[in-house]
Chain A
């Protein structure tokens, strides 16, 4: 099968992760991976983003497939159940809003900027080396740290399930994938 330009979007995903180590403000670019799939599903009623353009999914298939970093076993039944997928989506939302709340607190001046990336919603990794001050408000940087935490956490989870199960196991419980599928279902009715 001939490769199209969009088959190389995994390079963008990889670059994004690296840029976060260089300057945390690049994390803002990740909003593209949030809005594009939502816009496509709301306007077109398809999962074209997952099916074609998602660089993260491609990255997992490159690492797990071509590089052989996956055991290629079946994912456990409970992980593909609706209960787990919807539950994870809700949990993800809650964590996302908590992140937005922290950003708000920094914007309003009632909390200082924390130069940390929070991995798996628990482990605080010092990340000051990717922050060089900003022309913008400290809240802009706080959002970047928070958003990058979301992206890094989901990548790490995805890598773990990639190794344990099939390369793109993350796509089974990816909140963005679940959400766009729900939107498509709602639109089709």
Chain B
């Protein structure tokens, strides 16, 4: 039997991210980091989609979406 598990995780619109790092500061799981001072990157395996980063992001460029696990 196939059970389709759904889970949530954060997605960053990297073209609009300003790399301020506000998201990094609030993530309880260290699941998001700034890549070379250019943009934020989410570690897919660590992120649980709690949405804290999205709430904090001053540019509001983080979305929480459902993905197939």
Which residues of A does B touch, CB under 8 Å?
Answer: 1, 41, 45-48, 50-52, 57, 61, 72, 74-75, 80, 85, 165-172, 177-178, 180-181, 183-185, 187-188
Contact = CB atoms under 8 A, between A and B. Distances in A.
B57 interface: yes
Instruction: Categorize the interface residue count of chain B.
Output: 20 to 34
Contacts of A168: 20, 22, 58
Contacts of A1: 25, 28
Interface in B1-35: 16, 18-22, 24-25, 28, 34
Report which residue of B18, B24, B37 has the largest number of chain A beta carbons within 10 angstroms of its beta carbon.
Answer: B37
A187 B35 CA distance: 12
Contacts of A165: 58
Given A45-B37, A167-B58, A171-B20, 14 more contacts: A1-B28, A45-B36, A47-B21, A51-B19, A51-B20, A57-B20, A74-B60, A75-B59, A75-B60, A80-B16, A166-B58, A185-B37, A187-B36, A188-B37
Contacts of A74: 60
